[in-house]
Amino acid sequence: MLVVWSSLSVSVATPTAPVAATEGSDGRFAHGCTAVAVERPYVCDVGEPKALSRESFSQILEVDAGVRAMVARIGMPSYAELQEVDVDEPWMSYELRVYYLAYGKMMVFGRAMILGNPQISLLRHEGSIPAAKRARLASRVVAGPFALATQ
C-alpha cells in the first residue's frame, strides 16, 4: 500500500499488478512494483537481495566514508546485503542495507552520481527491521561480533 500526501488529506493507492520489463530509450529497463514500503515509496526493489560476505563488506568499508563512519560509531552489523533498486537519477541502481539485530535496526545507504562519478554516499533510511525480515535473518545469521557469514 502506497500512501500519498496531498494538501491536508491522505489518499491511499494500491500498487497495480506487475508490469513486464520493457527497455526504454535510455537503455534501462522499467520495472513494475507490486509492493512498495510505506516509509520508502520512492524505491522499488528489483529481484532478491545479495548477501555480502565479511570480505565484500570490508571492501565497501575501504571506499565508502559514510558506511565507515557508521561502523566506527555503532560497530559491525549483524548482516549486510546489496539490493538492486529502480530509483530516479542521480541515485545509483543499488542500495547497501545493513542490519543490527541486537538493536532491531536497519540502515540503508545509497550512492548518487555527480558528473558521472558515484561521489556521494548517504544514509537514505534508518528504521526498524520488518518482522518478516528479522525472522529470516535471525535464523540465518551466525552468532558472533561480526556475523556477516550465513549458515
pLDDT digits (tens, 9 = 90+) for 117-127: 767 888 999 99
**51 lies in some domain:** yes
**111 lies in some domain:** yes
**82 lies in some domain:** yes
130 pLDDT above the threshold of 80: yes
Quick one: 8 exposed, middle or buried, by C-beta within 10 A (0-12, 13-18, 19+)?
Answer: exposed
**100 lies in some domain:** yes
**79 lies in some domain:** yes
**Collapsing DSSP states into helix, strand and coil, what is residue 35?**
coil
**39 lies in some domain:** no
- pLDDT for 32 equals 64
**84 lies in some domain:** yes
Domain that holds residue 125: 44-140
Query: Model's pTM, two decimal places?
Result: 0.71
**70 lies in some domain:** yes
pLDDT bucket at 87, cuts 50 / 70 / 90: confident
Backbone angles phi, psi at 80, to 5 degrees: -145, 150
> What is the distance between the alpha carbons of residues 99 and 11, in angstroms, rounded to a whole number?
31
Count of domains for the chain: 1
76, 119 contact by CB (below 8 A): no
